Amino acid sequence: MKKLVCLLLAGAMFASITGCGAGTAKETTAAETTTMEETTEARKEPETLGEALLYDFEDRVAENADATAQELAEGILTNELLLFQGGAMPVEEGFLTGFDNVEVTGFEEGVMFAPMIGTIPFVGYVFDTADAESAEALVTVLTENANPRWNICTEAEETISGTVEDKVFFVMCPKSLEE
């Protein structure tokens, strides 16, 4: 199954490189970092896709603090706002999709989740780190090095990140998938 997901993602990336159109204007939001206490407080209604997915991540961690990064990413892919067929695959420390010439390190388990169609400007990650301090440091690296135009043909409209204890959520995506 992992090989199939990898092959589909590779094919989608190839298709996005060979069939490019014009990009859209970039509008990146500041990173948001949350704690478990903030999660339990009353929160505003999410205004964007990224915010909704961050809340979904926080809720999933609150329900099962022992969930693996893979389980969290696969759960997020079931969110009804994601109007695409997606896949989640483990990543190792090093160069990751969406980051300019920076090796992303400092996590124990990492999972990328993305659509099977490479022209959608969407890439997300869930990481499990050693502790809350490591999680905060990882968020800093991610937000400082994110490139919303990693996809060449399209551009993510927002970048959202957050932590819950030792778990990290990061996504670059459109503000909405509705047309």
Q: Which sequence spans correspond to the domains of the chain?
A: 2-173
Helix (H, G, I), strand (E, B) or coil at 179: coil
- Residue pLDDT, tens place only, 26-84: 333 444 444 444 544 567 899 999 999 999 999 999 999 999 999 999 999 999 999 88
Euclidean distance between CA atoms 37 and 45, whole angstroms: 17
C-alpha atoms less than 13 angstroms from C-alpha of 129 in its C-beta half-sphere: 23
Radius of gyration of the chain (CA): 15
Residues 121/23, Cβ–Cβ less than 8 Å: no
Provide CB contacts within 8 A for 6, sequence distance 6+: 89
Entry pTM: 0.77
